[in-house]
Amino acid sequence: MPSPRYRREMPQRYRLEAGKCKGCGKIFFPPRLICNKCGSQEFEQVVLPENGKIVTFTIIRVAPAQFEAEVPYAIAIVELENGVRITTQVVDCDPEKLDIGNEVKLVFRKIQKEGKTGILLYGYKAVLV
């Protein structure tokens, strides 16, 4: 089980930070060490936009144990305004009414409790705009 400090120090989890290749400008989320487009190892940190659109989604009806209380829920691939795609849960809506192309905004939310100690894990989820 990872420690809370380890989780807090993951900037992409909490601040939506990505790596932008200084050689070709491609943005990677989560950040990488080597660009698969040009081979550069030099990156600058960029913050991803909060707004995007649903590219595709699925509705989870049989969930892992830690998410059983949330079924049914939607998981979507969201394309952000800068073209980066991320996978996230869509919340605060009826999953049956989601549609491809819906505009969403990323928000900071509780993801789950970890282990018997109940350590809270946070991250981003999407809500309809």
Domain ranges, ordered by start, for the chain: 1-48, 49-129
Give CATH for domain 49-129.
2.40.50.840
Alpha helix stretches (DSSP H) within 1-127:
4-8, 11-14
User: Which tokens sit at 73?
Assistant: 């829920």
Residue where the block lists tokens 């979507």: 76
Residues 45-66 pLDDT 10s: 999 999 999 999 999 999 998 7
Share of the chain above pLDDT 70, in %: 89
pTM for this one? Answer: 0.84
Lowest mean pLDDT among 5-19, 39-53, 76-90: 5-19
Residue 85: predicted pLDDT: 96
| pLDDT band at residue 116 using 50, 70 and 90 as cut-offs | confident
